[in-house]
Amino acid sequence: MNVLIVEDERKLADVLEHILKEEKYIVDAAYNGNDGLAYALTGTYDVIILDVMLPGMNGFDIVRRMRNEKNSTPVLMLTAKGEINDRVHGLDCGADDYMQKPFSSDELLARIRALTRRQGEIVLEVMEYGDLTLRLDNHELSCRDKSVRLSLKEYEVLKLLVVNKNQVLTKDIIITKVWGYDSEAENNNLEAYISFLRKKLTYLESGVMIDVLRKVGYTLKYEKNG
Ligand code: CA
C-alpha cells in the first residue's frame, strides 16, 4: 500500500511517516503544494494525506487539479482546529474524508483503512492475547465466559499493548499514540487508564497482567491460570 503525505509542518510529516511505516505502508512525503501535486498526479498512490495550508499551492487546489485530471486517488484532508468551513470546502473540492488536527494514530489508521478498503476484503474483527479476546468493533474484552466493555481510551491503550506485546512501551509512546502528538495528556491520565484496565482484568479473572518496568513503561504478561 503506497501513501503520499503532503504536509509542510516537518515535525507532523515525520510523525505521520513514522506511524504509517510501522504499519508497513510505503510512504512518500512532499513538503510543499507544488511537489505534492506533482507526486499526486503520478497516480501511484493508494491514498493521499493532504494538509490544507501549504506553501506554493493549497490542499483544495491540489484536490481540484487532481480531479480535473481524472485522478481519483482517495484523499484524506487534514484541517486545523475549528476550520469547519475547510472541511466542507475540502469535500466540495473532491476530497474523500477529512480529519481534524490533532488526531490519534488509531484514528488516522482507521480512516486510511476505510478509504483503501476494497470490496469483499475481510476485516480482522478480534485480537487475542493469552486468555483474552478483544473485539475491535464494539471494544468488548472477554475471558472465557466473562466479558466487559472497554471505554475508547482503555481500548486504545490495551490494543497498543497487545500489538506490541513483546516490547516495553514507554509512557511517552503510549500517550503520543493514544492521545495524539501534541496532546496535553499527562502521565497521571495514562496511569488512571492502566488502573481501570487492571481492574477489568481482575474482574475477568484473566491471567494477563499489565506489568510496569522500572517505572518507565508498560508491557503485557500472561500467566496461565490454574
Ligand atoms: Ca500546513
How many whole angstroms from 58 Cα to the centroid of ligand 1? Answer: 9
- Compute the mean pLDDT over every residue in the chain, rounded to the nearest whole number: 87
How far apart are alpha carbons 65 and 37 in whole angstroms? 8
Report pLDDT for 92. 74
Q: Is 141 exposed, middle or buried (0-12, 13-18, 19+ CB in 10 A)?
A: buried
**Residue 188 above 80 pLDDT?**
no
Q: What domains sit in the chain, N to C, each tagged with a CATH number?
A: 2-122 (3.40.50.2300), 126-222 (1.10.10.10)
pLDDT at 119: 44
- pLDDT score of 29: 96
| Residue 223 CA to ligand 1 centre (angstroms) | 48
Residue 182 has pLDDT above 70, yes or no: no
Per-residue model confidence (pLDDT) at position 120: 47
Distance 41 CA to ligand 1 centre (A): 20
Mean pLDDT on 142-158:
92
- CA trace torsion 147, 113, 179, 189 (10° rounding): 10
CA–centroid distance, 123 to ligand 1, in Å, is 33
Segment 87-104 mean pLDDT = 81
- The more confidently predicted of residues 94 and 193 is 193
Residues 35/57, Cβ–Cβ less than 8 Å: no
Judge contact between 144 and 58, C-beta under 8 A: no
**Ligand 1 geometric centre to CA of 6 (Å):** 9
Q: Compute, in angstroms, the gap from residue 73 CA to the centroid of ligand 1.
A: 21
CA dist 160 and 210 (Å) reads 12
Mean pLDDT of 120-144: 82
Q: Is the pLDDT of residue 187 over 90?
A: no
Residue 172 has a pLDDT of: 86
Using the predicted structure, report yes or no on whether residue 208 has a pLDDT greater than 60: yes
For residue 213, the CA-to-ligand 1 centroid distance in Å is: 38
By percentage, how much of the chain surpasses pLDDT 90?
53
- Measured in Å, residue 15 CA sits from the centre of ligand 1 at 14
| 168-171 long-range Cβ contacts below 8 angstroms, 24+ apart | 168/213, 168/216, 168/217, 168/218, 168/219, 169/217, 169/218, 169/219, 170/216, 170/217, 171/216, 171/217, 171/218
